[in-house]
Amino acid sequence: MSTVHTVDLMFQDTAGVIASSVFDTGDGLAVVDTGPTSTLGNLETGLKAFGATLDDVRHLLLTHIHFDHAGAAGHLLERLPKARAYVHEKGAPHLSRPERLLASATQIYGDQMDKLWGGMLPIDPDRLKVLAGGERFKLGQAEVYAPYTAGHAVHHLAYLVGDDLFVGDVGGIRLNERQTPRAPTPPPDINLEVWRESIDALRLLDARTLHLAHFGAYANTPAHWDGLLRTMAQDAERVQAGMGKGQSFEQLSPEFTEALLSELAAEDPALPALYEFACPPWMSVQGLMRYWQRRAARSA
């Protein structure tokens, strides 16, 4: 396989937070996760750094449809009539009709919505290659395997191309070599049991390098996955314990945030500020509280 380029999308003018991965298929470039529309200009600049342009892009491999991963897909396809996007079947309808996504995100981000993410254009269903997960297909000369990897989102895929594995968010957030991976757990779809199953499946794949949208490329080692599982359990237990004491979100969130950022600072003093850009801890608290509430409801 050709070289994989990590393109820093410079989210909110901050390096090392959101990346796209780009490689040559022999039939145009493939971009894994476009990033949000607000960083589209930075994607274009990043392509120029290795002698490419947007016009060279033919394939958009979307791990899932959250704004930081797929927000710019519609704008790209509008500019690139020969390109198409690959997405899980549970995410495809939202890309064709993004009104609900936009409305729910606007409820969270309010007047910061446009600055953070930009708009999201609807995509003609004919421009989407809809996947169930488990497919193998060719892009030019590149052989692609797209396993279904739910847990972070019900519409999450990974992509194995040669010995490069593009893991979206199911591989965790890891902002440098010193950081232990952490699971981003925003609402609404967090399911830790399913996430662990996805990790088990990914560990069996013959991949040398992991590519994370947050952020960069790392050796595929047992330590990466072991660390992710450990911190995932630790964060979930921390939230569960707070809920068990009757704490509200307003009480639990600052305690969780302080503990998480303290652990990150012990690994690297630069990590806390960067991590808050990549994955605001309060969103992880929201997702984990919802996860535990749904588990309790099922048990009842």
Q: 0.85 exceeded by the pTM?
A: yes
pLDDT in tens, 54-110: 999 999 999 999 999 999 999 999 999 999 999 999 999 999 998 777 777 776 677
Average pLDDT, integer, range 248-255: 96
Phi/psi region, residue 199 (left: phi>0; alpha: psi -120 to 50; beta: rest), is alpha
Distance CA 38, CA 77 (A): 16
Average pLDDT, integer, range 236-252: 97
Q: Helix 222-244 crosses helix 249-267 at what angle (to 10 degrees)?
A: 150
The predicted structure's pLDDT at residue 299: 82
The predicted structure's pLDDT at residue 72: 96
Three-state SS string across 39-61, please?
Answer: HHHHHHHHHHCCCCCHHHEEEEE
The 10 Å CB-count burial string (b at 16+, else e) for 13-42 is eeebbbbbbbbbbeebbbbbbbbbbbbbeb
Which amino acid does the sequence have at 80? L
Average pLDDT, integer, range 264-271: 97
The gap from C-alpha 210 to its chain's centroid, in whole angstroms, comes to 13
Domains and CATH numbers, the chain: 5-233 (3.60.15.10)
Q: pLDDT tier at 195 (50, 70, 90 boundaries)?
A: very high
If DSSP codes are grouped into helix, strand and coil, which group holds residue 257?
helix
Q: Is the pLDDT of residue 113 over 70?
A: no
Distance CA 249, CA 203 (A): 34
The predicted structure's pLDDT at residue 106: 73
The predicted structure's pLDDT at residue 50: 93
The predicted structure's pLDDT at residue 99: 79
The predicted structure's pLDDT at residue 133: 97
User: Contact at 8 Å (CB) between 144 and 136?
Assistant: yes
| Average pLDDT score over the chain | 94
Beta strands 164-168 and 209-212 are: parallel
